[in-house]
Structure 1
Amino acid sequence: MINRNLIRIRTVQLVYSWYQNTNRDLRKAEKELLFGLQKSYDLYYYMLQLMLEVTKVYEQRVEAKKNKFLPSEEDLNPNMNLLENKFIIQLSDNKQLQKYNLDRPQSWEENESYVKNLLEVILESETYKNYSQIQAPTYDEDREFWRKVFKQFICGSEELYDLLEDECIYWNDDIEIIQSFVLKTIKRFNENKGADQPLLPMFKDEEDKEYALKLLHETILGEKKFRDLIEENTDKWDFERIAVMDLIIMQVALAEIFTFESIPTSVSLNEYIDIAKSYSTPKSGTFINGILDAIVHKIKNENLIFKN
């Protein structure tokens, strides 16, 4: 689930921090990288838990209305589609989710007001009105309802982004990627798999974890080689005036290009140019593209790398 996109972003951020610190310890940097990636995985489970929390708050609301002094007919006979949603019941029973919550407990209690507001938004939506009118919804209809809700009211929510930024310094950068994986998970749910429905693993395989650590090592240990290459190809620029983040992005990019033969050079270039657009200046993407392109052309001609 922690894809290489996220690993690249986290590595760039960590290398930037590395150069801001006077006490540099590579082992500590490794731990910080893995800790940051673990927090990204925590967010995946936190987002899955959010759907259960919304359902829980709705259940409390239904019970409170039933126990009113003079409950109405609607209070006594609420629409039960949300509470009997087969997808949510399956998610609640999921063994992997339950175990993760025991091992790394997370709670929405301190953000209960957000959960309640989200519930109100859902209940007032056309998506819910259409869903509530279905008599005895099928599993697929139950799952599709939550896929729509997650995509329409959770993805892109500024209120949620602000909340997550306060919760964890890593999450604001991760949210869009993690939410895409939650949507992928919802689509993959199969009624026949019951509580054993697999959730996404932290890493697709051991190779991705090794990629993360190796990219960090090579970036830091190859500093002189990569910065010399950058300086040699910035003859129209004063090397000392290059933005620090631009320099770091290029350094990480070159570490990847030199180290990982299986990753096409064009893929590396595109990924780090995108990172520059998001994390550096408006002109950084074009600037970095020009410098890296010149370096790649040079090192290919000199047979310093052998790949596409």
Structure 2
Amino acid sequence: MINRRHIRVKVMQSVYAMQQSQSDNIVKEEKFLKNSIQKMYDLYVLNLQLVVEVQKLANKKIALSKKKMLATKEELNPNTKFIDNKLINLLNESVSLEGYTELNQLNFWELDNEYVNIILDELQKSDLYKKYMSTVEDSYHIDKAFVIEFFREIIAPNEKLADYFEDKMISWVDDIPFVNTWIIKSLNKQKPQNPFILGGLYKDSEDKQFASNLFTKTVLHQHKYQDDIIEKTPNWEADRIADIDMIIIKMAITEFLHFPSIPSRVTINEYIELAKDYSTNKSGYFINGVLDKLAKDYLASDKMVKIGRGLL
């Protein structure tokens, strides 16, 4: 499921896109934000489905090899360890995975099956595959460990696949690392006796509402923050502050003033990390200093009110 750090990333990107397009249609832009987050779920499902399609292709090739006129002994009696993999079979039998794929018309691997071929070819050439296929032990534990490493070593770092996803949706570039981690966690948690069921996109309704509220409150109130930011950056002209840094600071102020249940220190730490990942090398230090000063002032003037113990 999506966590609050990545929700903040998506909101930051949406605020930035809204500013760059000079749009003032907040309803339209909020809808775009929600769609962008929902598309992460599509990416998650597509990667899981890719694992299944690779197994299906391997099975198809085995069946074709058996029908060859001069089939070898090995082709007539193939090693079926991969196509019998217990975890992949749970994915293949998953009603929720198949249902979501069909409902949202995620037939990518039918239309672009060359990527299934690319992944299968790379897998079968790998030491990981050769070691797994020669393993005598037949257990769910062995199968699961293999699938996780298959995804981690073969699918996740594949550059052709990453380029393909980027062509399909530009925002997936930033989502891929998060989705990859999400998939590995999902595979790790899967039990052999349970059917595979897709989890929710959000942890709860509060997180879902957090995304909308953070975006709308930042956009609606950001003009009010300008004087406070200028006061805390006396050595900087406003137009010298990087666009992303300014958005990050305004989002953090929004959390200070409009999200009483989020500790101010949590807000500061989260936006420092965002600055490190998405802005300049020195942005983390700059934003830390600005937000620390703002938090102290808001607290002293009672503008910032946090509910509960230890929330400052």
Give the Cα–Cα distance (whole angstroms) in 2 for the partners of residues 211 and 190 of structure 1: 31
Give the Cα–Cα distance (whole angstroms) in 1 for the partners of residues 230 and 67 of structure 2: 73
Indicate conservation of the 8 Å contact 1:52/1:92, yes or no.
yes
Indicate conservation of the 8 Å contact 2:229/2:290, yes or no.
yes
CA RMSD of aligned residues (A): 1.5
Equivalent residue, structure 2, for 1:262? 261
TM-score, normalization: structure 1? 0.94
* Structure 1 residue 136, shift from structure 2 partner: 5.8
Q: Give a deviation string over 1:32-74, Cα, whole Å, max 9, x none.
A: 1110011011111011101001111211221222222211111
Equivalent residue, structure 2, for 1:67? 67
Equivalent residue, structure 1, for 2:167? 166
Q: Determine whether 1:220 maps to 2:219.
A: yes
* Structure 1 residue 91, shift from structure 2 partner: 0.8
1:126-275 alignment, distance < 5 Å: 126-135=127-136, 137-194=138-195, 197-275=196-274
* Structure 1 residue 283, shift from structure 2 partner: 2.0
Indicate conservation of the 8 Å contact 1:81/1:136, yes or no.
no
Indicate conservation of the 8 Å contact 2:214/2:254, yes or no.
yes
Indicate conservation of the 8 Å contact 1:276/1:285, yes or no.
yes
Give the Cα–Cα distance (whole angstroms) in 2 for the partners of residues 240 and 86 of structure 1: 57
TM-score, normalization: structure 2? 0.93
* Structure 1 residue 232, shift from structure 2 partner: 1.2
Give the Cα–Cα distance (whole angstroms) in 1 for the partners of residues 279 and 236 of structure 2: 17
Q: Which moved more, 1:297-306 or 1:182-191?
A: 297-306
Equivalent residue, structure 1, for 2:48? 48
Q: Aligned pair in 2 of structure 1 residues 183, 32: CA closer, same or farther (>3 Å)?
A: same
Give the Cα–Cα distance (whole angstroms) in 2 for the partners of residues 55 and 258 of structure 1: 51
Indicate conservation of the 8 Å contact 2:96/2:197, yes or no.
yes
* Structure 1 residue 292, shift from structure 2 partner: 1.3
Q: Extract unaligned runs of 5+ from structure 2.
A: 306-310
Amino acid at match of 1:227: Q
Q: Determine whether 1:298 maps to 2:297.
A: yes
Indicate conservation of the 8 Å contact 2:97/2:197, yes or no.
no
Q: Give a deviation string over 1:74-97, Cα, whole Å, max 9, x none.
A: 111111011111111111111211
Amino acid at match of 2:281: P
Indicate conservation of the 8 Å contact 1:96/1:198, yes or no.
yes
Partner SS state of residue 305, structure 1: coil
Give the Cα–Cα distance (whole angstroms) in 2 for the partners of residues 23 and 175 of structure 1: 27
Give the Cα–Cα distance (whole angstroms) in 2 for the partners of residues 115 and 277 of structure 1: 35
Partner SS state of residue 151, structure 2: helix
Q: Percent identity over the alignment?
A: 37
Give the Cα–Cα distance (whole angstroms) in 2 for the partners of residues 23 and 304 of structure 1: 29
Give the Cα–Cα distance (whole angstroms) in 2 for the partners of residues 302 and 158 of structure 1: 51
Give the Cα–Cα distance (whole angstroms) in 2 for the partners of residues 87 and 6 of structure 1: 28
Q: What number of residue pairs does the alignment pair up?
A: 306
Equivalent residue, structure 1, for 2:281? 282
Equivalent residue, structure 2, for 1:14? 14
Equivalent residue, structure 1, for 2:109? 108
Give the Cα–Cα distance (whole angstroms) in 2 for the partners of residues 188 and 105 of structure 1: 27
